[in-house]
Amino acid sequence: MSNCVFCKIIAKEIPGEVIFEDDSVLVFMDIKPVSRGHCLVIPKKHFADVVEAPEDLVTMVILATKRLALAVEKAVGAHGFTLSTNRGLAAGQTVFHLHFHIIPRFDNDGLKPWTHHEIEPKTISEIAESIRKNL
C-alpha cells in the first residue's frame, strides 16, 4: 500500500529500527514507545488488521511475537510483557497495517490500560449467548 507508513518501512523508503526480519515478518522499534523496548511485529504483506489477514499469516505473526517478546523482555530486564493488537478507530488503531505491540512491563510501572466494571451476572450471560450465536 503506497500510503502505508509500515509498508514504507518494509520497503526501506523511510527509516525503521529493525530488530528481525524474514520472508514474511518484520519486527522494529516503536517510534513513540509506551515503555522501554516497545516494538511492533508486522506481516510484510499489507492487511489492515488481524481480521483482514489470512489465518496462516496471523499464525506466523503471533509466533514471531512470542519469540521476540522473550528476547525483548530479557534485553531490557523487564519483569513481563503485554501483547496487544488494535482493530479499528474505536480500539485506538492509528496505523492500518496489522501489527502486534510488544510492551515490556516492569514491576509497579503504573501502566493500567483497562478499567474493570461491576456488571450483573445476567448481563454477562446475555452477552455470552450473543457471542456464541456469532461464532
CA dist., res. 55 & res. 129, Å (int): 25
Instruction: Point out which residues bind ligand AMP (CB under 6 A).
Output: 5, 16, 30-32, 40, 86, 92-95
Query: Cα angle at 78 between 101 and 86, to 5 degrees?
Result: 15
Residues 1 and 8: their CA atoms lie apart, in Å, by 8
Work out how close the CB of 122 gets to ligand AMP at its nearest, in angstroms, rounded to a whole number.
34
The least CB distance from residue 133 to ligand AMP, in Å, is: 29
Instruction: Rank residues 51 and 129 by Cβ distance to ligand AMP and give the closer one.
Output: 51
Strands in 25-29's sheet, in edge-to-edge order, are 18-21, 25-29, 39-43, 100-105, 80-84
Select 16 or 78, whichever has its Cβ closest to ligand AMP: 16
Q: Check if the beta carbon of residue 50 is closer than 8 Å to that of residue 85.
A: yes
Residues catalogued as catalytic = 99
The distance of closest approach from Cβ of residue 32 to ligand AMP in the complex, given in angstroms and rounded to an integer, is: 4
Looking at the Cβ atoms of 69 and 120, the one nearer to ligand AMP is 69
